[in-house]
Structure 1
Amino acid sequence: MNYFKKEFILVVVITFLSVNATCQEKASSTTEVEKSVEVKKKSKKKKKKYKLSKIDLSHWSVTTPELNHKGKATNVEPPEILKYATDKRLTPYMYNDSITGALVFYAYPSNATTANTKYSRSELREQMEPGNNNVNWTFKQGGTMKGVLKVDEISKDSDGKPHKVIIMQIHGRLTNEQRDLIGQKDNNAPPILKIYWQNGKIRVKTKVLKNLDASDEEILHDEAWGDDEGYTFDQEVGHRKFTLEVKVSEGKLIVVLNNFDYKVYDNIHMEKWGVFENYFKAGNYFQSRDEGAFAKVNYYKLKVKH
């Protein structure tokens, strides 16, 4: 009798241990599956976070703060600019923010300056015909540039005040005939519009004709034009995203901040400016020569229409 009891107990113990081991094996297997699923989910989440810029660069060239082999500021045109993410000339100054999808423009004081300025830049230049600076537009033809951007980082001066940066421009240009008429070596004309980020606000500067009775030939000279007193929008954008739009038509220029705050220029100076060709600019035209100074401007959207 005792023999059968011992046998029975042994069978029960073996069965219990077998069942327990199987359960543990299943539990372990389930845990491994859950971990695998969790890893895949995390992997998918990480992939979703990586964003590329959606800005079309096919009609823009870019100038950077780096000297080229000729000792001048580096300039890259289409189609090369489309490979900015792998172009070693551009990657330090123009690159993607993979988290937000912004196109980042970085600039600092360097020796790579352009004509008529002491400041360096990481800035786009509109090219209506890719690779050709000789095709531009007039106020009569009109145009619109609209961007969503923010000044992500910017250094401060010795007084603790943020440096300023030009984030959008409309630059004038002489035709070849106008250039030859006034005996100028290049096609440069003044910028009719400069838009600054200054101490957290948006400030607009335009050109005014010094002598309204100037002849058609005199108007073409850079010294015929001076700066207006400027206009600063009331609202503060700081380091937040904001929308900026520039609208041009015959004799008229409108700057719009965040889709509701307007500054309209509808005057004799805009009418007289109609003699020039123009092109849009956008990016980071840094306005400091201080040692160690820098700025990062993030563009999330940028579109031009004519």
Structure 2
Amino acid sequence: MKNFRKEIFGLLVIVFLSVNATCQEKTSSATDSSSKVEKKDKKKKKKKKYKLPKIDLSHWSVTTPELNKKGGAMNIEPPAILDYATDERLIPYMYNDSVNGALVFYSFPSNATTANTKYTRSELREQMVPGDNNTNWTFADGAYMKGKLAMEDVSKSSDGKFHKVIIMQIHGRLTNEQRDLIGQKDNNAPPILKIYWQDGKVRVKTKKLKNVSATDEELLHEDAWDDDDGFTFEQEVGFGKFILEVKISEGKMVVVLNKNEYAVYEDVSMRRWGIFENYFKAGNYFQSRDEGSFAKVKYYELEVKH
């Protein structure tokens, strides 16, 4: 009888240990599985929280509404611009929206204006050779710029309309020889292209010759050129994302909105503009001096090809 009891007791111990081990194994497996899920969720959350804009700044300088030591607008060139995220001079005016993966350009009226304008900007200037403004391109060379962007926020004027912002440009530039030929003190030439965000739409302004028979030397003077009437795309972009492309070839300029609406310029003014060098600009060239006014433009992507 004692032996029988011992056998029964032994069997019960074995069963208990087996069941306990199985429970522990299941609990451990469930815990491991839960831990893995939590780690995956954490990784996903981390990835969603931090995004960077798709913009290579190595061939851009930037001008801000901040005054430099000489009393002019602050300008930062490569390679310093690459540290914009930690550069105290740039942080207020050019910073990452790491949730949406955009580079934000903030501007408002200040005393930090550049030559030939009363408006301020937080705007990139193309530099084909980093740190050098003397190497630029002509229409014959060809050029292409594409940006994915959005207006984040902009103030309104007293009449209730949003303030205008130039979001892209092609600026003309005199060579040193051309500058000396006409006796001008700097290399500034008119902008052949200005693209505005205006009342939720995209508006294009360009230049046209006052006299199509003007000599090459006369073309170099700013007063040889006049503003055209402008063109407004039909699509309303509002505060949403949109894509802008600018395509340049000899005697021709094409502006494309969202790959389905086109503004094409191909006339004598475009052909004769070939006398100038040019460079791209992109960002926030704010068009107001109203007190308290401001704008924030977000660039998700920006690329240039030649």
Aligned-pair CA distance for 1:39:
5.5
Are 1:58 and 2:58 an aligned pair? yes
Give the 3 Å change call, closer, same or farther, for CA 39–264 of structure 1 in structure 2: same
In the other structure, the counterpart of 1:160 is: 160
Partner residue in 2 for 1:176:
176
More divergent stretch after superposition (153-162 vs 33-42): 33-42
Structure-1 separation of matches of 2:30 and 2:154: 49
Structure 1 length as normaliser, TM-score? 0.88
1:153 match: secondary structure: strand
Give the aligned partner of residue 100 of structure 1: 100
Letter in 2 for 1:213: S
Q: Following superposition of structure 1 onto structure 2, how do residues 196-235 of structure 1 map, counting pairs within 5 Å?
A: 196-235=196-235
Distance (whole Å) between structure 1 residues aligned to residue 124 and residue 155 of structure 2 = 22
Structure 1 residues 63-142: aligned runs within 5 Å: 63-142=63-142
1:16-74, Cα deviation, whole Å (9 max, x unpaired): xxxxxxxxx99999998788667544532331121122211111000011001111100
Partner of 2:14: none
Amino acid paired to 2:283: G
Task: Please say if 1:188 is aligned against 2:188.
Answer: yes
Matched AA of 1:59? H
**Secondary structure of 1:161 counterpart:** coil
Please report how far the alpha carbon of residue 146 of structure 1 lies from its aligned counterpart in structure 2 after TM superposition.
0.6
- What does residue 47 of structure 2 align with? 48
Q: Distance in 2 between matches of 1:248 and 1:68?
A: 34
SS at match of 2:245: strand
Runs of 5+ consecutive residues of structure 2 not aligned to the other structure: 1-23
How far the C-alpha of 1:164 sits from its partner, in A, is: 0.8
* TM-superposition CA deviations, 1:259-303 (whole Å, max 9, x none): 010110000100111100000000000111111111111111111
Quick one: distance in 1 between partners of 2:171 and 2:209?
Answer: 16
Residue 278 of structure 1 corresponds to 278
2: CA distance between counterparts of 1:280 and 1:227?
A: 19
Distance 1:31 1:111 in 2: 64
- In the other structure, the counterpart of 1:298 is 298
Partner of 2:248: 248
% identity of equivalent residues = 72
Greater CA drift, 209-218 or 174-183: 209-218
SS at structure 2 position matched to 1:109: coil
- State the Cα deviation string for residues 107-137 of structure 1 (Å, max 9, x = none): 1111111111000000000000010000000
1:14-25 mapped onto 2 (5 Å cutoff):
none
Whole-angstrom CA distance in 2 between matches of 1:228 and 1:54: 33
Alignment of 1:253-272 (within 5 A): 253-272=253-272
Q: Which amino acid aligns with 2:134?
A: N
- Output the amino acid matched with 2:42: S
Letter in 2 for 1:281: K
- The 2-side partners of 1:268 and 1:30 are apart by 77
Amino acid at match of 2:62: V
* Distance in 1, Cα, partners of 2:125 & 2:172: 12
Give the secondary-structure state (helix, strand or coil) at the position aligned to 1:247: strand
Match of 1:14 in 2: none
Q: Partner of 1:217: helix, strand, or coil?
A: helix
SS of structure 1 residue aligned to 2:302: strand
Query: Number of residues paired by the alignment?
Result: 289
Letter in 2 for 1:100: N
Two-structure CA RMSD over aligned residues (Å): 2.2
**Alignment correspondent of 1:287:** 287
1:141-163 per-position Cα deviation (integer Å, ceiling 9, x unaligned):
11000111111111111121111
